[in-house]
Amino acid sequence: MTFTSVNPHAPADVLGEWEAAGSDGADAAVGRALKAAQVWRDTPGAARAKALGDAATALEQRAGEVTDLVIREVGKPVSEARGEVARGVAILRYYAQAALAPDGETLPASDPDQLLFARHVPVGVTALLTPWNFPVAIPLWKAAPSLAYGNATLLKPSSAAAATALLLSEIIGPLLPPDVFQVVLGGAGTARPLIDHPGVAAVSFTGSSEVGRDISARAAARGGRVQAEMGGQNPSVVLADADLDRAAATIAYAAMGYAGQKCTATSRVIVADEVYPQFRDALAAAVEALGVVDPADPKTLVGPVIDDGSRSFALAAVASSGGRVLTGGRALDGPGFYLAPTLVELDEPVGPLATEEVFAPVAALIRAGSADEAVSIANAVRYGLVASVFTSDLAHALRLTRRLEAGMVRVNAPTSGVDFNAPFGGSKESSYGPREQGQAARAFYTESQTVLIVP
């Protein structure tokens, strides 16, 4: 079975056609990885660190080429594409150093002549199932710790980002022993055999909640480790004492930047009643000012959605919301999959825009009578990835951070954007399993082994 990847800005531009690995290809890749894992786990940490450092340098040297491909394949605006590639370089360098970090600790033994210690050892073979929206950063923030801690690593990218994954493999693969890092192409027919394979010790997934729940159940059923980062329906709470102009500019980009195609994008804007009319007008103006067409243009901040199905889904959600469209709400003319950035005013926090992830440049505006009501609205969804609060009262902000049901809370900052050296993940249906990124990644890609030595 073959598949293609197309340019969402110009769908007639086909980046390539590839054969899906399928069940047989996935099984063969795992077999190669199991052999490679024995070599890589015995490779000294200093050598693993050097390989990842060399990979960072190689990616940096080809940053322009990778950036151009990201723009073309997934429609990411050039400013964000450049930033994502730079982030990938930084991630590789960060985990190059992690390969040299202490791998355990000594413990008091019952006999002083004995040696008791606990150390972290690689789990073996990992399978990484990654989405199209961050085709460099997400594969690398999974693969870099997996490799740093000594695992053979299989990357199964979204079919819509296959070309970028293959370019990453071309850059990184030669700097590692054979088969330590492999790209396995295809859709569900390739992913399921990896998830179910007894030779795959750990599965890390980023994508929708529905798919993530299925993957988590399948992997856990056979005793495999599983980590799933899933959807978000992220609120930004604007209190009466906030800097309204700053908040409007920040939230507009957090909701609409890269066509809202981030799990951390702002989906709901919950505004204190006292400043609601003023803020509504400021936010609508900020949304209308965003550049939309042609992701290769430095002035573009939004860009196309990934495909026509995504655009149709978003327009249907707007149509069924029961709210008033303040701006946008329509497809744009032209061959690309463009949707005007859309802000919808809701009378009540109900309907798809208030409860579900739309994954498009669409956000709901909701009025709250008090800070308590704003928090209640923010928490009243099944997701809990990230929330933001805009206020000039730091003490109040800190109190609200304890009440918001989200894995990440940001004050006077956009919901979108995360630091690669900090734990990443959500609560409720947004995440399952250990956190990603930073030092937290070690908990997933290694297991603790206790050793007692008796002379």
Are 434 and 414 within 8 A, CB to CB? no
Which pLDDT score is estimated for 398?
94
H/E element holding 189? Answer: helix 188-196
Exposed/middle/buried for 395, CB within 10 Å: 0-12, 13-18, 19+?
A: exposed
Catalytic residue among 73, 80, 84, 229: 229
Q: For tokens 């400043």, what's the residue?
A: 275
Q: Where in the chain are the domains?
A: 2-230+430-453, 234-411
Nearest to 148 by CA among 108, 195, 106, 95: 95
Which pLDDT score is estimated for 417?
87
Q: How many CB atoms lie within 10 A of CB 323?
A: 21
H/E element holding 251? Answer: helix 244-256
CA distances from 224 to 65, 219, 413, 453 (A): 37, 5, 37, 29
Q: For tokens 């993940």, what's the residue?
A: 425
User: pTM (2 decimals)?
Assistant: 0.96
The answer regarding whether domain 234-411 maps to CATH 3.40.190.10 reads no
Spatial separation of the C-alpha atoms in residues 364 and 358, rounded to whole Å: 11
Residue 268 token pair: 């709901």
Are 258 and 80 within 8 A, CB to CB? yes
Give yes or no: 229 in active site.
yes
Catalytic residue among 263, 357, 429, 436: 263
Q: How many CB atoms lie within 10 A of CB 1?
A: 11
pLDDT tens track, the chain, 455 positions: 899 999 999 999 999 999 999 999 999 999 999 999 999 999 999 999 999 999 999 999 999 999 999 999 999 999 999 999 999 999 999 999 999 999 999 999 999 999 999 999 999 999 999 999 999 999 999 999 999 999 999 999 999 999 999 999 999 999 999 999 999 999 999 999 999 999 999 999 999 999 999 999 999 999 999 999 999 999 999 999 999 999 999 999 999 999 999 999 999 999 999 999 999 999 999 999 999 999 999 999 999 999 999 999 999 999 999 999 999 999 999 899 999 999 999 999 999 999 999 999 999 999 999 999 999 999 999 999 999 999 999 999 999 999 999 999 999 999 998 899 999 999 999 999 999 999 999 999 999 999 999 99
Which pLDDT score is estimated for 418?
86
Q: At 106, give phi and psi (nearest 5°).
A: -90, 150
Please give the sequence-ordered ranges of beta strands (E in DSSP) within 262-391, or none if there are none: 266-272, 324-327, 342-346, 362-368, 383-384, 386-390
Give yes or no: 73 in active site.
no
Q: For tokens 């071309």, what's the residue?
A: 170
The 3-state DSSP class for residue 54 equals helix
Amino acid at position 355, single letter: T
The 3-state DSSP class for residue 128 equals strand
Per CATH, the number for 2-230+430-453 is: 3.40.605.10
